[in-house]
Chains A and B, each alone.
Chain A
Amino acid sequence: MYALVRNFFTALRHIARGGKWYYIWLAFLSFFIVVGAVAYIRQLHTGLILTAMRDQVSWGFYISNFTFLVGVAAAAVLLVVPAYVYHFKPIKEIVLFGELLAITAIIMCILFIMVDMGRPERVWHLLPIVGTMNFPSSLLAWDVVVLNGYLAINFLISFYVLYKMSHSKEYSIQLIKPLIMISIPWAISIHTVTAFLYNGLSARPFWNASILAPRFIASALCSGPALMILIFQIIRKVSKIEIDNRALFKIAELIAYAIGLNLFLFGAEFFKEFYSGSIHLAPMEYLYFGLKGKTTLVPWMWAALLFNITAFLIFLSPRARENFLTLNIGCVLVIIGVFIEKGMGLVIPGFVPGVLGEIYEYSPTWTEKSVTLGIWAAGAMIYTLLLKFAVPIYTGELRFISKPGTE
């Protein structure tokens, strides 16, 4: 018990201490968290009328961000596979940071769902036993199960490894191997279930297409790893962690395949809709050409397409993706591209035109933007603190005491 308390304070001291830039960074994030919290309290008090969501478009920016972040969480699998299945050493050294990113992304997903709910205090209604979870009928119930399961798996793996390291012990790969192996299909499953959440609704032709789930996976494997490449460069700049260039280039190579696949699936969808030209073309038409003069999303969608194609060309060429300037440009482009395409570009056309033909143009309000920014800042804060805790354990600066024989 004594050791536990003492270790806790050791960890806390480590997290609380940092350089000038560390505090500036935390203050910067805190500012946006406060802005988001204030906006959310107002929304909670007045109701979702402060958002641009209406009966016609009943999900908006929050659910868009949620969908994008499920992709980021699922992308950790792109590190787990080369690290543990193919034993590619440079990636094995950094897989932990991918898992911590997955934990952060899932927490952000849960926050985005919470702020979207009309009665968040009733959230216990969807738990099993105490509530009346509609399992297995509702895909939302499935999503609760798989997202929390994924959170638990990543939490167990990364904290087991950190625990062992912090006590200067070798961790037993044999012990966590089953968890790691299960985390691979589980990562795919969180994305598949989230896709099915939309996919299963026959009322919404844009979502009710079989290509939805494959496109979800493909685009997740573009944006998530691109985000990791950027974060890893920052980590090795501000800490003593060494990250081998080969690891980053390997991830970049995998992204090239993922973008290629994503563009192909997009082309398949585009062809089917426009060539057959049934009435179900309307949402696609709305996205890329506008419908009855309503064109809010058109410039965004073409920008996203342009970004994704440019990023594809960058990642495809080994010379471009192994040059950090072009690599980083490519990463930023594909992150923004997928964020538009899989966020607003996926959620909104499900509702436009509406089931009775109405066209309601949705564009997020300041409340939605502030709350969203707040959650992103909270995510960045969580990841920063997790790294502040994990990195010194990794480098051997932070060690915990343990009573001999209690292990």
Chain B
Amino acid sequence: MPKEIKGHSLSRPISRRGFLKGTALGLASTAVPFAKADASFWDAYFQKHFREMNEDELREVIKRLEKEYAEEYDTKFNIKTTKAMPGTLFGYGLDLSRCIGCRRCVYACVRENNQSRDPQIHWITVLRFKKGEKWIDLEESEKYYYPEAVPEEGYFYMPVQCQQCENPPCVRVCPTQATWKEPDGIVVIDYNWCIGCRYCMASCPYGARRFNLAKPRIRKEELNPESHYLGNRPRYKGVVEKCIFCVQRTRAGRYPACVEICPVGARKFGNLLDPKSEIRYCIENKRVFRLKEDLNTYPKFYYFFAT
């Protein structure tokens, strides 16, 4: 087991071009004196739960993680721990009448949030429905559609991602409290605390959670080093991840990557507690609904029709 973890921090970057370089780096890092390597191994093993660390401990951990990532990905990472801003509760709107099913959001999210490219992980699933059939019958949805061009005649699209429930079943079931709801309403995961039991995945009514079945692989040049501890920092083999409303961006006053990329402006984002926000306007003036409202999960993700 210890070997397993060590292997993690010593393993090579995966891009084919970087292979040789990585091998050299890997060999170099084995030259690190044993005592030193062991100390950081035990630090990693006994790392505390994110919410139980004090400021000093957190600083130490961030320092160690940045070093680990630098060794592993040969890239300098900046891991923020920005706290939730007071008076914010993030909410999301998605205009179904505008979405054209182009999946640009899916790939913008992958780039922004350092999802594994191999095996491929997507946080956003775009579903395609036939017009004129049963309205949003998920069992009739198609996830694997590959047309020449979108939008296609006779179809409409519905992207689904973590709905950031106010009453999240995943948080309730997690046996280790590795996932929780932040004060700004974002459900986050401590990737260093998750034991990979996948109970949260069984409990999620929206299929939002993803599991790292293997070691995540990202080419060095595609990494996004601007990261957040609870957000887009690279994940580990055997832990769960999901959409976190781009916490690294949104807590710094920016839009999530999917909102920014959407070519038709179907995606809205804002502070639900601000009566003048765009999201509040949409909720109050459009015909909104939330997915599977009968389950009382109270998503903060609103689907609506502008036209």
Using CB atoms and an 8 Å cutoff, list the residues of chain A in contact with chain B: 44-49, 53-56, 58-59, 113, 116-123, 125-126, 131-134, 137-141, 144, 197-198, 200-204, 279, 282, 350-351, 353-358
B203 within 8 Å of A (CB atoms): yes
Could you name 8 residue pairs across A and B whose Cβ atoms are closer than 8 Å?
A55-B209, A118-B195, A118-B212, A122-B193, A122-B194, A125-B49, A138-B199, A279-B137
A interface, over-half SS: loop
Known: A121-B45, A140-B199, A202-B169; 15 extra A-B contacts, CB below 8 A, are A48-B211, A48-B213, A49-B213, A59-B202, A117-B238, A119-B195, A120-B1, A125-B193, A139-B173, A201-B173, A202-B205, A282-B139, A355-B204, A357-B140, A357-B141
Interface contact B173-A204, CB-CB below 8 Å? no
Other-chain contact of A357, B7, B138, B214, B239 (Cβ < 8 Å)? B138
Interface contact B175-A141, CB-CB below 8 Å? yes
Q: Which chain A residues lie closer than 8 Å to B203 at the CB level? A: 201, 203
Tell me, in angstroms, the Cα distance from A244 to B185 when the chains sit together.
64
Tell me, in angstroms, the Cα distance from A122 to B140 when the chains sit together.
39
Interface centre among A198, A353, A358 (most CB of B within 10 A): A358
B81 within 8 Å of A (CB atoms): no
6 closest Cβ contacts across the A-B interface? A118-B196, A118-B238, A203-B205, A49-B213, A140-B175, A47-B214
Within 8 A of A (CB), among B15-46: 45
A-contact 0/1 string along B203-226, CB 8 Å cutoff: 111110111111100000000000
Q: Which chain B residues lie closer than 8 Å to A47 at the CB level? A: 212-215, 237-238
Other-chain contact of B173, A48, A55, A122, A138 (Cβ < 8 Å)? A138
Interface centre among A117, A126, A132 (most CB of B within 10 A): A132
Other-chain contact of B172, A58, A138, A144, A353 (Cβ < 8 Å)? A138
Interface contact B195-A122, CB-CB below 8 Å? yes
Q: Which chain A residues lie closer than 8 Å to B295 at the CB level? A: 202-203
Task: Report the minimum CB–CB distance from A286 to chain B (whole Å).
Answer: 11
User: Contacts A47-B237, A203-B295, A350-B202: A356 and B125 contacting too (C-beta < 8 A)?
Assistant: yes
Other-chain contact of B52, A116, A120, A132, A354 (Cβ < 8 Å)? A132
Interface contact B176-A126, CB-CB below 8 Å? yes
B119 within 8 Å of A (CB atoms): yes
Other-chain contact of A121, B1, B172, B177 (Cβ < 8 Å)? B1
Interface contact B175-A138, CB-CB below 8 Å? yes
Interface contact B194-A119, CB-CB below 8 Å? yes
Task: Report the minimum CB–CB distance from A195 to chain B (whole Å).
Answer: 14
User: Contacts A48-B211, A55-B210, A121-B45: A134 and B195 contacting too (C-beta < 8 A)?
Assistant: no
Q: Which chain A residues lie closer than 8 Å to B1 at the CB level? A: 44, 120-121
Interface contact B175-A355, CB-CB below 8 Å? no
Q: Which chain B residues lie closer than 8 Å to A356 at the CB level? A: 125, 127, 138, 141, 143, 160, 206-207
Q: Which chain A residues lie closer than 8 Å to B175 at the CB level? A: 126, 133-134, 138, 140-141, 144
Tell me, in angstroms, the Cα distance from A136 to B117 when the chains sit together.
37
User: Contacts A118-B198, A138-B172, A138-B199: A55 and B207 contacting too (C-beta < 8 A)?
Assistant: yes
Task: Report the minimum CB–CB distance from A169 to chain B (whole Å).
Answer: 42
Task: Report the minimum CB–CB distance from A303 to chain B (whole Å).
Answer: 26
Interface contact A132-B143, CB-CB below 8 Å? no
Within 8 A of A (CB), among B170-186: 172-178
B273 within 8 Å of A (CB atoms): no
Task: Report the minimum CB–CB distance from A204 to chain B (whole Å).
Answer: 7
Tell me, in angstroms, the Cα distance from A215 to B299 when the chains sit together.
33
Interface contact B139-A49, CB-CB below 8 Å? no
Other-chain contact of A44, B4, B172, B210, B212 (Cβ < 8 Å)? B4
Interface contact B172-A137, CB-CB below 8 Å? yes
Q: Which chain A residues lie closer than 8 Å to B240 at the CB level? A: 118
Interface contact A357-B197, CB-CB below 8 Å? no
Q: Which chain B residues lie closer than 8 Å to A134 at the CB level? A: 174-177
Q: Which chain B residues lie closer than 8 Å to A126 at the CB level? A: 175-176, 195
Q: Which chain B residues lie closer than 8 Å to A140 at the CB level? A: 173, 175, 197, 199
Task: Report the minimum CB–CB distance from B235 to chain A (whole Å).
Answer: 11
Task: Report the minimum CB–CB distance from B302 to chain A (whole Å).
Answer: 18
Q: Which chain B residues lie closer than 8 Å to A123 at the CB level? A: 195
Q: Which chain A residues lie closer than 8 Å to B237 at the CB level? A: 47, 118
